[in-house]
Each structure stands twice: as C-alpha cells, then as structure tokens.
Amino acid sequence: MTDQITFVVRFILFAAVHSLFATAFVKKILRGSDSQVYRLSYNFASLAMFGWVMSAYRHSDVLYVAPGVWSLIMYMLQLVVAVILFSCLRQTGTGEFMGFTKLTTRAFTTTGWYSIVRHPLYLFSTLFMVLNPVMTSQWLMLTTMAAVYFLIGGLVEERRLLLEFGNEYRRYQQQIPFFIPNLASLSRFSSTGKRPIPDQQKP
C-alpha cells in the first residue's frame, strides 16, 4: 500500500470514527450524565487519532513554496484566521467546546461571525489550511479531504439543529449562507457588528 493510499484510508477512518462518536445515539450510550468527561475524552481521542493520520505520508513532495514576501503575507493571514477561529470558539464557549467545563446553554449562536456564515469554524479552518505557504502533496490531500468532510459535517449538524430548534433555526438558514459569505451577510456584519440576526428570537 502506497503512502498516499495509507494516508487517505487513515483519514477516512478518522472521519468515520470522529463522526460516529459525535452522534446523539453513541453519546447517549457512552457518556451517561457527564457530558464534560465525554467531550474531553472525545477531543483527546480525536487528537491522538489525527496524529496517527498525519504520521502517514510524512515525506511527501513539495508542490510549491510561496516566494519571498508572499510567504510572510500568507503566514500573517494564517495568524489572522487563527484569531478569528479563536473568537468563534469564544462565542460558543471555548471551555465547553474543549470539554473543560460543562455545557450550560442549549442555543445556537447568531451573532458575530455566525451572522455572516452558518459554519464559520469550518470556513476559517479551510482557509487556514489553504493559506499554508508550503504546500506538500500530503497537505493538499488533507486540505481537500478536510473541506469535503467539513461540508458533510455541516449538513449533518444542520439536521440536528433543525430537529432541536425547528422554525427558529430554519429562519436563520434562510438569512445566513451555509459555508460561503455573500454580500448581504457581509453588509449585515459590518453594519450591525455582534447584534443578533433579526427574527431569531423564539415566538
């Protein structure tokens, strides 16, 4: 089995396991009443498995290196995107996301970056990967597969949110783009900042 195939197979296994253990059915079976312990264990296991994925195909060909100042610009843009990602996590609760604190809220966020796109974590994670100034075969494959996985994960997550929040989330879907911001959402973000999306309050 070639390094490329090994890498792809490992990523598919990672994606399958990561998705399976994020389902409500498996959570109900394994976590009991302590969602904090489950979330923390889930994140550590995911990190370990992702390291296993990346250990394959480590010596891949370099496709390109951004020349001169462009390399610095791309690193700076990655830093900006990383800050945005952190701000997205802060909006939804960094401690809760990591599993350091218990889940305290049962609502979806419609302010800040969530007022321009419904899945900013997926969008900016993809941008961070694309902006890598040193592009190897492994990194290109990872970026492509991750983008597809983010899209599928977003669709699955939206089904859960629709079941949980119903028309409230459906109205949010009608106003805010799924993955790519449009001019209307960008205009709303620039003019309202972190003000909640209109009509998102429960009737």
For the chain, which residues make up each domain, given as ranges? 1-59, 60-197
- Label residue 200 by pLDDT band (50, 70, 90): very low
| pLDDT grade for 196, boundaries at 50, 70 and 90 | very low
Mean pLDDT estimate for the chain:
84
pLDDT value at position 167? Answer: 92
Which pLDDT tens digit goes with each residue over 116-154? Answer: 999 999 999 999 999 999 999 999 999 999 999 999 999
Above pLDDT 70, what percent of the chain? 83
Q: Are 3 and 60 in contact (CB under 8 A)?
A: yes
pLDDT tens digits along 7-51: 999 999 999 998 888 877 787 777 654 577 778 888 899 999 999
Enter the CATH code of domain 60-197. Answer: 1.20.120.1630
pLDDT tier for residue 202 given thresholds of 50, 70 and 90:
very low
Helix (H) or strand (E) holding 152: helix 137-165
Provide the whole-model pTM: 0.83
Lookup result for tokens 């977003």: 154
Residue 198 has pLDDT above 50, yes or no: no
